[in-house]
Chain A
Amino acid sequence: MIPVIIIGLGVIMLAAAIAAVYFKSLLASIISAGVISLLASVIYLILGSPDVAMTEASIGSGLTTVIFLFALHRVRKGKSDD
């Protein structure tokens, strides 16, 4: 059961990662990256590291995403090549 969950999570995370690379919209990329972190925290929980899971969830997916969004807000009008 647990391996299946992990594989499922892994597939979603990889998809999100590739999406984050190829999304045209920066906003979508940032959110995807946040999703990766959020799912990573589930994996940490499975791997017996609740401390890391909490940290990843709050810092990795929470704060980092917010900081990205703040930065994005500040450069909103920036031209984007991809």
Chain B
Amino acid sequence: MISSYTLILGIALLIIGFYAMLTRKNLIKMVIGFSIADTGTHIIIVSLGYLRGKTAPIIDQAVSAVNAVQKVVDPIPSALVLTAIVIGLAVTAVMLSFIVEMYRKNKSLSIDDYQELKW
């Protein structure tokens, strides 16, 4: 039940992020859009890994080693999302440093001012 809510939330964030990338002229805003879309994607992934009424895949007092398989949520999407978050950070950092350099050359943050190459 709850994971379908979060799935919808994730998809909504993804689409809002894309919408920002499509409509905001400001380069930093576009990257913010990308980052929101990224967060949405991560929420989607975790939602897909959720199992009804189960708990974190860590063996401790709550989950004994014997029946762990019946007790825990899927660990794979968690692992994937960890990777994806770090990769998202890396891409964001590179994008932002491009923007910093572009700004230094052209003194503008509007994507419309960067179309000298075309056709």
Contact = CB atoms under 8 A, between A and B. Distances in A.
Interface in B83-105: 85-86, 88-89, 92-93, 96-97, 99-100, 103
B1 interface: yes
Contacts of B36: 17, 20, 33, 36
Interface of A: 2-3, 6-7, 10, 13-14, 17-18, 20-21, 26, 29-30, 33, 36-37, 40, 43-44, 46-52, 55-56, 59-60, 63-64, 67-68, 70-72, 74-75, 77-82
Interface of B: 1-3, 5-6, 8-9, 12-13, 16-17, 19-20, 23-26, 28-29, 31-33, 35-36, 39, 42-43, 46-47, 49-51, 54-58, 72-73, 77-78, 81-82, 85-86, 88-89, 92-93, 96-97, 99-100, 103, 107-110, 112
